[in-house]
């Protein structure tokens, strides 16, 4: 592939029109939408209207008049279309970490007599931290095992298996249906973290038989920094699963102000406090843009961008010791690509200084994301050319590029 070929692919791209739906600074190549999605152009006007009209003019009446109170279910229903669930099985609430705690604790209550939780070594750290804390409080036993040992670790004492569908570093993707079936065969429940899946890849929670899932709103859903997260509870579990955080929004009648908690009989029981309306409004804008695009076309383009990036890096930067993480087949990967390099942090900082934004993950990973709605094939070509220059010139070998910032 040369640059002319990349431009030709962009000219024939059925998703090309979506690039204009996002705020993208001129001259910048943004390869970090897997960490923080780009800003949809509809978001700022929507938030201004919410602040000036719904809040500023209509004040508290907007809980009913503007549908604020329905936001968790309404936006959850939209996300459900992206993850292969029924509308009443997904709600927007809290953060991914809090939702994971709620659902993992609830899963333990659904499997009395079973105390083991299984997850993989190298899972995203907050997931492991949350499960460690839950185990310490409940007496559950957390087994963190190598990836290849996960299925063997599931036995008749296992209550719950928790895995991230697409690995945050390597982009390796689990076979959701096969792993869920293996958990169910041993009587365990399955909880998936969809933080790097939702909005990026086709996902079928219902078809896979998943029990529970969580995911964040600020990556491929383009909900903005700190956007609310979402949770999924299969309908068959909603009446029985109990949340450890019994907030008023999870009550059957929040405005009855009863003296004791009476859980809602459905997914509302997993809500807790008052929903953050500003964050939810921004998230809804991001989700709405995604729903306009054909999901099969978006996934295919995202995978093509990843394949192009891998091929170009390995051919044009071959002399610099970059090592691809994760599997090569695109149908086994998510929409980010990571290369290990001893100076990965400095390389990423040098790229940012030249207008290519990726990110770094400890200890030695340069990570690049390829959201298909606003990235072009020519962006991939140009990014690899700049990477080649940074490596050939050792442009990364400067003190300012090696000083670690608080966020990497």
Distances (CA, A) of 206 to 253, 319, 328: 29, 46, 27
To the query of whether residue 124 is one of the catalytic residues in this protein, the response is yes
At which of 262, 292, 322 does a domain end?
292
Is there a single domain that holds both residue 283 and residue 306?
no
Q: What is the rounded distance in angstroms from the CA atom of residue 163 to the CA atom of residue 73?
A: 25
Give me the number of domains the chain comprises.
Answer: 2
d(CA 187, CA 114): 10
Which residue shows structure tokens 């945050």? 168
Q: Which residues of 192-222 are buried (b: 16+ CB within 10 A; e: fewer)?
A: bbbbbbbbbbebebbebbbbbbbbbbbbbbb
**166: helix, coil or strand?**
strand
Residue 212 and residue 331 share a domain: no
Domain range holding 77? Answer: 46-292
Indicate whether 408 belongs to any domain: no
End residue of a domain, out of 259, 292, 325: 292
For 38, phi and psi rounded to 5 degrees? -70, 165
- pTM exceeds 0.75 for this model: yes
Exposure of 403 in the CB half-sphere (CA atoms within 13 A): 3
Task: Name beta bridge partners: 333.
Answer: 172
Whether 101 is catalytic is: no
Residue 38 lies in a domain: no
CATH number at residue 129: 3.40.640.10
Do residue 145 and residue 282 come from a single domain? yes
CB within 8 A of 191, min separation 6: which ones?
100, 103, 104, 107, 160, 161, 162, 163, 210, 211, 212, 213, 214
Q: Are residues 302 and 288 in the same domain?
A: no
Q: Which residue has the tokens 């450890």?
A: 244
Query: Is-contact 264 250, C-beta < 8 A?
Result: yes
In the structure encoding, which two tokens stand for residue 20, read together? 């204009």
The answer for 321, left when phi > 0, alpha when psi is -120 to 50, beta otherwise, is: left
The CATH number given to whatever domain includes residue 347 is 3.90.1150.10
- Evaluate whether residue 388 is within a structural domain: yes
| Residue from 127, 193, 359, 379 carrying the catalytic annotation | 193
32 is catalytic: no
| Pairwise CA distance, residues 144 & 252, whole Å | 37
The closest of 373, 380, 348 to 23, measured between CA atoms, is 373
- For 34, residues 6+ apart whose C-beta sits below 8 A from its C-beta are 196, 200, 219, 220, 334, 335, 336, 367, 369, 370, 371
285-305 tens-digit pLDDT = 999 999 999 999 999 999 999
Q: Which of 268, 333, 367, 376 is catalytic?
A: 367
Q: Where are the alpha helices (DSSP H) in 86-124?
A: 96-110
State the catalytic residue, choosing from 22, 124, 345, 374. 124
Tokens of 81: 């279309």
Of 243, 265, 292, which marks where a domain is finished? Answer: 292
Distance separating the N- and C-terminal Cα atoms of the chain: 31
- Nearest one of 228, 174, 224, 226 to 196, comparing CA atoms: 174
Distance CA 353, CA 396 (A): 10
- CA–CA distance, 139 with 157 (Å, rounded to integer): 13
Catalytic residue among 168, 218, 232, 368: 218
| Same-domain status, 174 and 287 | yes
Backbone φ and ψ for 172, nearest 5 degrees, come out as -60, 140
Q: Which of 219, 301, 376, 388 is catalytic?
A: 219
Is residue 171 within 8 A of residue 200, CB to CB? The reply is: no
Q: Is 218 a catalytic residue?
A: yes
Q: Are 351 and 384 in contact (CB under 8 A)?
A: no
3-state helix, strand, coil in the chain (%, to 5): 45, 15, 40
For residue 94, being part of any structural domain is answered with yes
**pLDDT of the chain, 408 residues: tens digit per residue:** 899 999 999 999 999 999 999 999 999 999 999 999 999 999 999 999 999 999 999 999 999 999 999 999 999 999 999 999 999 999 999 999 999 999 999 999 999 999 999 999 999 999 999 999 999 999 999 999 999 999 999 999 999 999 999 999 999 999 999 999 999 999 999 999 999 999 999 999 999 999 999 999 999 999 999 999 999 999 999 999 999 999 999 999 999 999 999 999 999 999 999 999 999 999 999 999 999 999 999 999 999 999 999 999 999 999 999 999 999 999 999 999 999 999 999 999 999 999 999 999 999 999 999 999 999 999 999 999 999 999 999 999 999 999 999 998
CB atoms within 10 A of CB 245: 16
Query: Which residues touch 315 (CB under 8 Å, ≥6 apart)?
Result: none
Q: Tokens 């933080």 belong to which residue?
A: 195
Instruction: Tell me the CA distances in angstroms from 81 to 84, 102, 201, 237, 320, one per residue in order.
Output: 6, 23, 12, 20, 42
């Amino acid at each position: 592939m040369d640059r002319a070929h990349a431009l030709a692919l962009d000219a024939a791209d059925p998703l090309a029109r979506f690039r204009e739906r996002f705020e993208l600074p001129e001259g910048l190549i943004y390869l970090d939408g897997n960490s923080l999605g780009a800003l949809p152009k509809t978001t700022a006007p929507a938030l201004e209207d919410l602040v000036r009209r719904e809040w500023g003019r209509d004040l508290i009446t907007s809980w009913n008049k503007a549908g604020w109170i329905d936001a968790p279910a309404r936006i959850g229903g939209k996300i459900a279309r992206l993850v292969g669930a029924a509308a009443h099985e997904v709600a927007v609430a809290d953060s991914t970490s809090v939702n994971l705690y709620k659902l993992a604790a609830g899963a333990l209550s659904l499997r009395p007599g079973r105390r083991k939780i299984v997850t993989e070594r190298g899972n995203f750290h907050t997931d492991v931290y949350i499960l460690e804390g839950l185990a310490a409080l409940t007496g559950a036993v957390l087994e963190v095992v190598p990836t290849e040992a996960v299925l063997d670790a599931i036995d008749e004492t296992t209550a719950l298996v928790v895995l991230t569908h697409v690995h945050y570093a390597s982009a390796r993707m689990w076979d959701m249906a096969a792993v869920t079936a293996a958990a169910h065969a041993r009587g365990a429940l399955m909880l998936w973290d969809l933080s790097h899946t939702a909005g990026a890849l086709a996902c079928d929670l219902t078809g896979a038989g998943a029990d529970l899932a969580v995911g964040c709103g600020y990556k491929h859903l383009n909900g903005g920094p700190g956007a609310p997260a979402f949770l999924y509870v299969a309908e068959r579990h909603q009446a029985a699963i109990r949340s450890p955080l019994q907030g008023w929004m999870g009550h059957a009648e929040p405005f009855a102000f009863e003296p004791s908690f009476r859980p809602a009989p459905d997914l509302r029981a997993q809500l807790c406090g008052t929903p953050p309306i500003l964050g939810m409004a921004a998230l809804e804008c991001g989700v709405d843009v995604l729903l306009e695009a054909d999901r099969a076309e978006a996934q295919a383009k995202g995978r093509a961008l990843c394949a192009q990036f891998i091929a170009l890096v390995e051919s044009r930067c071959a002399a610099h010791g970059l090592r691809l993480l994760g599997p090569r087949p695109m149908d086994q990967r998510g929409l980010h690509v990571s290369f290990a390099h001893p100076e990965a942090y400095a390389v990423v900082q040098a790229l940012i200084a030249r207008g290519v934004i990726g990110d770094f993950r400890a200890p030695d990973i340069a990570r690049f994301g390829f959201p298909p709605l606003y990235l072009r094939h020519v962006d991939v070509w140009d990014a690899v050319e700049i990477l080649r220059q940074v490596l050939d010139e050792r442009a990364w070998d400067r003190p300012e590029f090696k000083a670690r910032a608080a966020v990497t």
